[in-house]
Amino acid sequence: MAKKGLGRGLSSLMPETVEDARNQGESVQEVSISQLFPNPDQPRKEFRQEQLDELASSIAEKGIIQPIVAEPQSNGRYMIIAGERRYRAAGIAGLQTIPVVLKKFSDEDKLEIGLIENIQREDLNAIEEAQGYRSLMDRFGYTQEEVSRKLGKSRSAIANALRLLRLPDEVRTGIRDREISAGHAKALLSVNEQHSDQLKELYDLIRQEGLSVRLAEKAARMINDGFHVDGLHAELSAPGEPEGDNEDLREQVLELTGGARVQSGDDDSHPGSDHGRKTPALWDMEEALIKHTGSKVDIKGSEEKGRIEIHYYSKDDLKRLYDLLLND
């Protein structure tokens, strides 16, 4: 039997304003914060304190514009279905009551709404997102194809996310804590099973030395070709080794292992530059921009200052990007 999807989008499930909610015929009430509690099945488990503090400052100044969505419980309290971040920030801001849309949901819809809200707003880390997909499959018997249709994701995106759950606990923790990006994790997953004993060593190299996603992918390919992480320096510095794609990896490994130093040039995004290595957060942003624009994107600099370069390859491509960016 085909399973129904929510199919209405976030705007109908979670109105943008109190006025929108009332125009849709929803019941909106001012509810005491003490009567609200988070959904224990909410996919998002971690909230960054600095982001909560920023939102709390905005709420203290302007109030809560978008109401929280909650479900009445038999004990007189209300379980949050969508908007837990606003609820937490409102508490920090010192609010006593907040506007809440009250309605009933099936268990299936609760989990789907939590996933949709966080995925579309890019609030979940890659592990939380994968665990959310797995919960839909385990609890409701969905296939990967059904999950992809319900959440508007490609089948391959669902499959790749679920593969992250096969990584060792330490690596999953690193993704959750944003010590490495989802792109780095995919590079680790590309290491063949017969070389899986080197996963931990490659993870340590990525995390400690700030390897870019591209370099991590190249290192994984070299491991699959028979190189060992400990022996990369010797292999890369051996005479007669091919140049080309491996050259920047050769230079970085030589630098990290005490070989020839890399000369810092004008590229302020290079891991060996004077401006420091690109953080996992910047790699995640770069990957998101690449997916959004469908073009090559380079973020150069730091989280404090830098520039974004978007590549185009024809007049039509330039116009496409121009229209895309202006429409956004």
pTM above 0.85, yes or no: no
The more confident residue out of 93 and 238 is 93
Contact 285, 276 (CB under 8 A): no
Among residues 173, 177, 171, 174, the alpha carbon closest in space to that of 48 is found at 177
Average pLDDT over residues 112-123: 68
Mean of pLDDT values over 205-229: 83
| pLDDT at position 77 over 90 | yes
Per-residue pLDDT, 13: 61
Mean pLDDT, residues 278-285: 75
Instruction: Please compute the mean of the pLDDT values over residues 133-137 and round it to a whole number.
Output: 86
Compute the chain's Rg from CA coordinates.
23
> Which whole-number Å values give the CA distances from 197 to 27, 194, 201, in the listed order?
56, 8, 8
Per the model's pLDDT, the better-predicted residue between 310 and 4 turns out to be 310
pLDDT of 260 reads 33
Residue 5 has pLDDT above 70, yes or no: no
How would residue 298 be classed by pLDDT, with cut points 50, 70 and 90?
A: confident
**pLDDT computed for residue 222 by the predictor:** 86
Contacting residues for 116 by C-beta, under 8 A, at least 6 apart: 6, 10, 13, 151
Domains for the chain: give ranges and CATH numbers.
9-119 (3.90.1530.30), 280-327 (no CATH)
Residues with catalytic function: 84
Is pLDDT above 90 for 126? no
Size of the chain in residues: 328
How many CB atoms sit inside 10 A of residue 216's CB?
A: 25
Torsion sign over Cα 215, 216, 222, 225: negative
Sign, Cα dihedral of 113, 117, 123, 129:
positive
How confident is the prediction for the chain on average, in pLDDT? Answer: 77
68 three-state secondary structure: strand
CA dihedral of 200, 202, 205, 208, whole degrees rounded to 10:
-40
Q: What is the pLDDT of residue 103?
A: 86
